[in-house]
Amino acid sequence: YNIIEDVLTEKQLAAVQMAYHGGYFETPRANTGDELADRLGITRQTYNRHLRKAEQAIFEQLFEGSGKGIH
């Protein structure tokens, strides 16, 4: 978890935590991106940008940091 905190901005961390705890990754989704963005007081587009950047940073840590990426 500290690795994630080290690579994410505060906004990215808030977006990914909100998505995870808000059921965004569940099927069906418990909350939409619009609903989560509203909770953070930002637009859906801004929320999606923070979430995508957070996902990218997390995946980079997971796959590149472990040396188990597919090349």
Q: Kindly tell me the burial class for residue 37, based on how many C-beta atoms sit within 10 Å of its own C-beta (0-12, 13-18, 19 or more).
A: buried
Q: What angle do CA 44, 50, 53 make, to 5 degrees?
A: 135
Which pLDDT score is estimated for 71?
53
Question: Which pLDDT score, from 0 to 100, does residue 3 have?
Answer: 73
Burial of 51 (C-beta count, 10 Å sphere; 0-12/13-18/19+)? buried
**22 SS3 class:** coil
Other CB atoms within a 10 A radius of the CB of residue 36 amount to 24
Please list the ranges in the chain whose pLDDT falls under 50: none
pLDDT of residue 68: 59
pLDDT at position 31 is 96
- Residue 70's pLDDT is what? 58
Please give the pLDDT value at position 17.
95
Confidence (pTM): 0.83
